[in-house]
């Protein structure tokens, strides 16, 4: 029942998100970047895990560029059986991985240390700070054993009041949209 409901919500929100133009995505992502930069946790963070943008997701490219410029260690995920985070080298050092998601070409072993902040993608976030992903539970599994400060980012229309949740669903510490910061 919960799974069915989750799938319905995913379908509706993704249809809206996929209707955004490139320009709209860029403008809204810029607003989210500004909010992320003004979050008090950001300046002090030394290691920040981002995700590599696919399709109509909030664009993380400028966020990654900014974090690197500020001397932070940037990590990005590589998806296999589970997700593991690797050092991000540059946008020229990427290759398409599982689900068509870009990942570092040069990778040896996953980065051992827990990031200070993890930027979490999502299809929907609830005001209760829960999150709905694409339905495979990758981030739930990773976050269940991760002490990083969790910042979910999404466009404002992806926020809904109440989400159906399973016990494995992980909560965010903060959600940033183009219109608000929820914590
Ligand atoms: P998503 O979080 O991507 O939206 P779901 O929450 O629907 O996806 O989870 C997808 C599957 O992954 C579910 O069957 C869920 O039980 C499983 N799952 C999530 N977290 C864990 C975990 N910590 N351990 C084992 N299975 C998990
Ligand atoms: Mg989940």
For residues 79 and 50, the answer to whether their CB atoms sit within 8 Å is no
Q: 85-126: per-residue pLDDT in tens? A: 999 999 999 999 999 999 999 888 999 899 999 999 999 999
3-class SS at 180? coil
Closest CA to 119 of 150, 158, 75, 89: 150
Protein residue with its CA nearest to atom 6 in ligand 1: 137
Q: Given the CA of residue 169, which atom of ligand 1 is nearest to it? A: 6
Torsion sign (Cα): 31, 33, 28, 22: positive
Protein residue with its CA nearest to atom 4 in ligand 1: 133
**In the chain, where the domains are located:** 2-182
Superfamily grouping for domain 2-182: NagB/RpiA/CoA transferase-like (3.40.50.10420)
In this structure, which ligand is nearest to the CA of 171? 2
Confirm or reject: Cβ of 164 under 6 Å from ligand 1: no
Q: 152-173: per-residue pLDDT in tens? A: 999 999 999 989 999 999 999 9
Predicted TM-score of the model (pTM)? 0.96
């Amino acid at each position: 029942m919960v799974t069915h409901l989750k799938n319905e919500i995913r379908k509706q929100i993704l249809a809206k998100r996929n209707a955004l133009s490139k320009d709209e995505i860029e403008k809204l992502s810029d607003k989210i970047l500004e909010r992320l930069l003004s979050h008090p946790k950001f300046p002090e963070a030394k290691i920040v895990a981002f995700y590599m943008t696919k399709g109509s997701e909030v664009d993380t490219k400028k966020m990654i560029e900014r974090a690197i410029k500020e001397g932070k260690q940037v990590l990005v995920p590589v998806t296999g059986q589970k997700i593991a985070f690797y050092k991000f080298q540059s946008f020229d050092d990427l290759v398409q991985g599982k689900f068509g998601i870009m990942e570092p070409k040069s990778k040896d072993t996953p980065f051992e240390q827990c990031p200070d902040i993890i930027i979490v993608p999502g299809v929907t976030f609830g005001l209760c700070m829960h999150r709905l992903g694409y339905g495979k539970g990758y981030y739930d599994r990773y976050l269940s054993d991760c002490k990083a400060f969790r910042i979910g980012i999404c466009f404002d229309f992806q926020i809904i009041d109440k989400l159906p949740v399973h016990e494995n669903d992980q909560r965010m510490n903060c959600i940033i949209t183009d219109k608000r910061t929820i914590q």
